[in-house]
Structure 1
Amino acid sequence: MTQAFDAAMRAFAPALPLAVGLSGGADSTALLLACARRWPGRVRAVHVHHGLQAAAEGFERHCIALCQDLDVPLTVQRLDARPAPGQSPEDAARQARYRAFEALALDRRAQRDAMQSMALAQHADDQAETLLLALLRGAGVAGLAAMPARWERAGVVWHRPLLQVAGADVRQWLRAQGQDWVEDPSNADERFTRNRIRARLSPALAAAFPAFRDTFARSAAHAAQAAELLLELAQQDLERVGTPPQISLLQELSRARQANVLRHWLRTAHGTTPAAAQLGALLNQVQACTTRGHGIHIKVGRGFVVRCGAGLDWYNPQALLSPG
């Protein structure tokens, strides 16, 4: 049904000029085509060449040809998105892609045609897969919130206007326009968890629960609301316990609020996230810290949380060893 795609695009009202992330696949091709028709002369495209597979050259050629046909300016960003040790290729490519988008946004802010909005083409199937991935890794509510439809970063408002549209509906709309696209061969590689979900779990869910995309989206929205409330509470509690947190003030909070504020402090002040076991051990030590001589030294993220006088601190030993 193309009505779902048309309805989503009618509801999409970004500030202009608008940039569209263009991979060359069906979803981003459809999004760019619809946006270019609706706002001629106010849309540009951004293609990220990840340098990870031979097929990437074909993606770039498709994007160049499509943008020429649509009279849409195209920026191609070439990256080395090879994963770090222990990092999944999917995660490495995604992080590199977003860094490239943000760098472009910052670079163009001072220019006369500075883009006000950025649109990405993830759809309802992608949202459901993201929620399943979060469940499989035992994520908290922030992870279960999956992908937001709108957020602000690098001075730009980001949008995912197709999150309520099934992938099949996007492709049906594109076929109705007579527009071709390129298929990423890595999408069929079931060594990647997301591809296994797409190939095996999603069809089974659709057969047993045809409305699963909608119900998953509602669950993600509930989780996003809960995550927002937890963030507000963490900000209030961090003002209360101090930066760095004072142990006696932490002990006045419930264990759940201690966990929430410590996660927030570590993420915002030190850019690190504790594993569940690390955070549990830290909470136990905070509870046991009732004497002046009680020490705390616990591995958390890439460094260690330690007791420093009446409070907590965090340090990365590798950073201390680095010159300069």
Structure 2
Amino acid sequence: MENPAAQALASWAEAPLPLAIAYSGGADSTALLHAAAARWPGRVHALHVHHGLQQAADGFEAHCVAACAALGVPLHSGRVDARHAAGESPEDAARRARYATLAALALAQGLRHVALAQHADDQVETMLIALSRGAGLDGLAGMPRQIARHGVSFHRPLLEVHAEALRAWLAAASVAHVDDPTNAELRYTRNRIRGQVLPALGLALPQFRETFARSARNAARASALLAEVAAADLAAAGSPPALAVLRALSPERLANALRHWLKRDHAAVPSEAQLQELLNQIAACGTRGHHIRLKIAAGRVEREGPVLRWYNASPLS
């Protein structure tokens, strides 16, 4: 039985070598590391993040050390405090810490490309979480095959591979891996989806992984098109954007341009209510005396004469 991760890597026409593998010791990253080490011997490194969130983390790291020694793959480990702040999602905090640490570990070794073991089931989970939050096209596009963060390119070569196929290969090949006990904790949304929703989807819609993947690709294409339209509209509006140009846009096109401006230029994602209020205020500012001063995400948007300006977090007076 061939490792399905190896099949996925075989279709990677121009793999960026040398390549680092984000290696937790879990089933998915274990299958990916074995496939990469076999395909590109001597050109693969493993990166392990010790989150310090549970007692088992020391055991995970020890397993990774032994596994990489057996494969002849250099292992680079980093420890991080991934505890979340009040009001912050534990999953989001851990994810941000993990990406930052992986990037730092890679750059310390002169590596600029890291492969992640996220697969088709992870993609479906991501899309369902986005749906549950009322996300737009960006969210419904799921996880892209490649992203750049902290000066490193992260790749997801397994997005077409089923989790069940990876685990079947591990069992058939008697390859050891660790099981994170937190994956069974139903207080996490992703775990509830994995344990309760995906099995039901499999019974009702056996091809759901493939159809969800197709939807994600379509959403990504549509999102890219909207970004192009927004970039053109913002180029015409100038920087900071002129209200007269913004007011000439249709409501849908204006909303698209504002979302793009806030996210691209200020890393701010407005809530639906905040965006709607900004649209209302722009529509109403037909006179010089109309003020705009709205809280948006962690900052605020103000009218200054003929333009809109963004200000970082500051109490509204």
The TM-score by the shorter chain falls in which range? over 0.9
Equivalent position of 1:143 in the other structure? 139
Per the alignment, residue 39 of structure 2 pairs with: 38
Instruction: For 1:264 and 1:170, locate their aligned partners in 2 and report how far apart those are by CA, in whole Å.
Output: 38
Does the CA contact (< 8 Å) of 1:105 and 1:154 recur in 2? no
Q: Which moved more, 1:188-197 or 1:307-316?
A: 307-316
Out of 116, 124, 130, which is 2:126 matched to? 130
Corresponding residue for residue 312 of structure 2 = 316
Matches within 5 A, 1:225-240: 225-240=221-236
- With 261-270 and 221-230 compared, the bigger mean Cα shift is at 261-270
Aligned partners of 1:32, 1:3: CA distance in 2, in Å?
Answer: 11
Give, in angstroms, the shift of residue 107 of structure 1.
3.7
Check conservation: 1:21, 1:121, Cα contact below 8 A.
yes
State, as a whole percentage, how many aligned pairs show the same letter.
56
Contact 2:4–2:169 (Cα < 8 Å) also in 1: no
Name the counterpart of 2:74.
73
Provide the residue aligned with 2:280 in structure 1.
Answer: 284
How big is the shift at 1:3? 6.8
- Shift of residue 150, structure 1, vs aligned partner: 2.5
Equivalences for residues 1-324 of structure 1 within 5 A: 2=2, 4-13=4-13, 14-108=15-109, 114-318=110-314
Report Cα offsets for 1:78-129 as digits up to 9, x if no partner. 0001112211111111111111122234444xxxxx3242110011110110
Question: What is the rounded CA distance, in whole Å, between the counterparts of 1:26 and 1:284 in structure 2?
Answer: 50
Deviations 1:52-80 (A, max 9, x none): 11111111111111111111111111000
C-alpha change, 1:189 and 1:83, in structure 2 (3 Å) is same
Distance 1:6 1:37, change over 3 A: closer
Unaligned runs of 5+ residues in structure 2 are none
- SS for the counterpart of 1:169 is helix
Q: Give the stretch that moved more between structures: 163-172 or 115-124.
A: 115-124
Residues 317 and 155 of structure 1: CA distance in aligned 2, closer, same or farther (over 3 Å): closer
Aligned residues: 315
Give, in whole Å, the separation in 2 of the partners of 1:216 and 1:100.
30
Select between 268-277 and 75-84 the one with higher mean Cα deviation. 268-277
Residue 270 of structure 1 deviates from its aligned partner by: 1.7
Distance 1:270 1:186 in 2: 35
Superposition TM-score, scaled by structure 1 size: 0.93
d(CA) in 2 for partners of 1:318, 1:24? 43
**For the structure 1 residues 240 and 141, does the alpha-carbon distance in structure 2 shift closer, same or farther, using more than 3 Å as the test?**
same
Deviations 1:203-259 (A, max 9, x none): 000011110010000001111111111111111111111111111110111111111
Q: Are 2:52 and 2:81, in contact at CA under 8 Å, matched by a contact in 1? A: yes
The normalised TM-score by structure 2 is: 0.95
Conserved in 1, the CA contact under 8 Å of 2:20 and 2:106? no
- Deviation per residue, 1:175-229 (Å, 9 max, x gap): 2222110000000000000001011110000011110010000001111111111
CA contact (8 A) 1:296 1:307 kept: yes
CA distance in structure 2 between the partners assigned to 1:106 and 1:63 by the alignment: 20
Classify the secondary structure of the residue corresponding to 1:15. Answer: coil
In 1, the alpha carbon distance for the partners of 2:313 and 2:213 equals 41
Equivalence for 1:111 = none
Aligned partners of 1:2 and 1:172 also within 8 Å? no
SS of residue matched to 1:265: helix
The farther-off stretch of 184-193 and 172-181 is 172-181
Shift of 1:158: 2.5
Shift of 1:317: 4.1
One-letter identity of the residue aligned with 2:60: F
Gaps of 5+ in 1: 109-113
Worse-superposed segment, 260-269 or 33-42: 260-269
2:111 is paired with a residue whose SS is coil
Structure 2 CA distance for partners of 1:32 and 1:5, relative to 1, 3 Å: closer
Distance 1:122 1:10, change over 3 A: same
1:114-148 deviation digits (Å, cap 9, x = unpaired) = 32421100111101100100000000100111111
Structure 2 distance, partners of 1:103, 1:291, is 51
